[in-house]
């Protein structure tokens, strides 16, 4: 809620023709919130987890709606979670749940882009194609507005490029230019020989020789005036400079060296691609990376045990409740609470915002395949650390978790909250290819901020 003092500060603006929504937004800008988050770990649950089977259970709903799993108490008073998440239940005192995420995109590609960029797509179309006209990823905006001042990259994403037929937009810098693309790698952090080829020099090429090559290239660039005439050339130049910086940095190599972790820690996260990806995320923020995106899976999944994401319709004669209890839920209950607790034990949780969410939720009504379909109208996002309240629920869904009853939240509002916590004004404008100003976020969720 806005206080009286904030409204009085901008009260005179009404005489200048400002509408009430603009007055409220102006009043919100007067809030002085000291940023607490230095980094964000964005755990993207591709495919769309069910709100009714995780963090917004409705045990009193009709049998055709309620989960076959029971809710259990958690470490946060009044907050229950699914019985398949007993380890996560012990960490809920660190968590803010947003139970009223909502939008209208029912297709994975459009909803995925919305979730990864915080900007509504031009259409709800499964054929939505990646384009420089679409908005950049969160991490690219962070790299553009709050770049790292060290050899560490600002934005890292892995271990997949997600797609549903075609590549989902919102995974790179788009019109901001290649210089703000993530350090993207597809190597499996769970591989016993995991290392990034990007951090290794070819045989016979020394660091000194690499620098001499770079100096020669810069001379040619200056002579041809490439830097004045080509935005694309500038982007590649920044990309090249970043690559050299990483190749010559001991800090970067050490951050990616998972073999340095004790076996007990690696086992705690789980010897899976996703588990080791979450462990690597902790190492990266510990080393100064500002935004880390970890993709749960490369595919929407939901058809078999042991692979894929959360898209559990009941295709190919499968059943949601014979898959998620054996794969998605156990994997989540091992990695997510371990990451939160590890950050807390290391004194990193207060400055690291963890976001766990998919592109939408699942239908309240269980379908004929004893599964659930896409449902963007109401779903849950989980936030922990980074300046958010612990043991808190923002918003209230109806008795079937079908629609928000109180405090509906759109993806652009969640984006604004992340930016606010990082110390970036959500009203900041960036410019697209046609030099049009675009605001990076919606309205921050001040009630969620501690």
Phi, psi dihedral angles at 167 (to 5 degrees): -65, 135
Topology (CATH) of 33-198+239-448:
Alkaline Phosphatase, subunit A (3.40.720)
Pairing of β 379-384 and β 95-101: antiparallel
Q: Which of 21-35, 160-174, 355-369, 395-409 has the lowest mean pLDDT?
A: 21-35
Using the CB atoms, write b or e for 306-327: b if 16+ within 10 Å. eebbbbbbbeeebebbebbbeb
Query: For 187-254, what is the HEC assignment?
Result: CCCCCCCCCCHHHCCCCCCCHHHHHHHHHHHHHHHHHHCHHHHCHHHHHHHHHHHHHHHHHCCHHHHH
Q: What length does the chain have?
A: 450
The pair of three-digit structure tokens given for residue 71, joined into one six-digit string: 């809710």
Q: Which of 51-60, 87-96, 198-207, 249-258 has the lowest mean pLDDT?
A: 198-207
Pairing of strands 166-167, 95-101: unpaired
The CA distances from residue 140 to 2, 87, 117, 432, in Å, are: 31, 33, 10, 13
Dist CA 241 CA 259 (whole Å): 27
Structure-token pair, residue 46:
């591709």
Task: With a cut of 80, say whether residue 242 has pLDDT above it.
Answer: no
Reported as a single tens digit per residue, the pLDDT across 103-123 is 999 999 999 999 999 999 999
Q: Where are the domains of the chain?
A: 33-198+239-448
Helix (H) or strand (E) holding 24: helix 20-29
Q: Is the dihedral of CA 89, 91, 92, 97 positive or negative?
A: negative
pLDDT digits (tens, 9 = 90+) for 363-382: 999 999 999 999 999 999 99
pLDDT tens profile 331-366: 999 999 999 999 999 999 999 999 999 999 999 999
């Amino acid at each position: 809620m806005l206080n009286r003092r904030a409204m009085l500060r901008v009260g005179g603006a009404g005489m200048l023709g400002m509408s009430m929504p603009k007055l409220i937004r102006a009043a919100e800008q007067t809030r002085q919130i000291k940023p607490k988050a230095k980094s964000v770990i964005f755990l993207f649950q591709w495919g769309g987890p069910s709100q009714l089977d995780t963090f917004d259970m409705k045990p009193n709903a009709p049998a055709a709606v309620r989960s076959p799993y029971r809710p259990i108490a958690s470490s946060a008073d009044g907050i229950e979670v699914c019985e398949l998440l007993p380890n996560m239940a012990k960490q809920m005192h660190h968590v803010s749940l947003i139970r009223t995420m909502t939008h209208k995109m029912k297709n994975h590609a459009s909803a995925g882009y919305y979730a990864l960029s915080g900007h509504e797509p031009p259409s709800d179309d499964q054929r939505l194609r990646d384009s420089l006209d679409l908005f950049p990823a969160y991490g690219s905006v962070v790299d553009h507005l709050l770049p790292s001042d060290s050899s560490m990259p600002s934005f890292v994403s892995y271990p997949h490029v997600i797609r549903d037929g075609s590549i989902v937009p919102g995974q790179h810098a788009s019109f901001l230019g290649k210089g703000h693309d993530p350090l993207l790698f597809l190597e499996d952090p769970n591989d016993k020989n995991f290392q990034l080829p990007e951090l290794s020099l070819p045989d016979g090429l020394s660091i000194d020789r690499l620098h001499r090559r770079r100096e020669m290239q810069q001379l040619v660039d200056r002579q041809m005036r490439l830097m004045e005439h080509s935005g694309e050339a500038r982007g590649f130049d920044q990309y090249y400079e970043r690559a050299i910086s990483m190749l010559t940095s001991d800090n970067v190599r050490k951050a990616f060296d998972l073999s340095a972790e004790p076996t007990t820690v690696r086992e705690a996260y789980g010897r899976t691609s996703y588990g080791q990806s979450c462990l690597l995320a902790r190492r990266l923020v510990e080393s100064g990376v500002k935004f880390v995106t970890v993709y749960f899976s490369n595919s929407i999944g939901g058809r078999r045990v042991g692979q894929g994401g959360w898209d559990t319709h009941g295709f190919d004669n499968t059943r949601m409740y014979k898959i998620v209890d054996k794969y998605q839920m156990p994997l989540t209950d091992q990695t997510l609470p371990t990451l939160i607790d590890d950050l807390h034990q290391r004194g990193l949780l207060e400055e690291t915002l963890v976001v766990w969410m998919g592109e939408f939720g699942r239908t309240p009504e269980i379908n004929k395949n004893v599964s659930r379909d896409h449902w963007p109208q109401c779903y849950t996002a989980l936030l922990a650390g980074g300046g958010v309240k612990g043991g808190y629920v923002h918003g209230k869904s109806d008795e079937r978790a079908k629609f928000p009853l109180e405090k509906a939240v759109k993806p652009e509002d969640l984006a604004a909250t992340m930016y606010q916590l990082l110390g970036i004004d959500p009203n900041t404008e960036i410019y697209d290819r046609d030099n049009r100003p675009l605001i990076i976020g919606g309205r921050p969720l001040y009630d969620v901020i501690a």
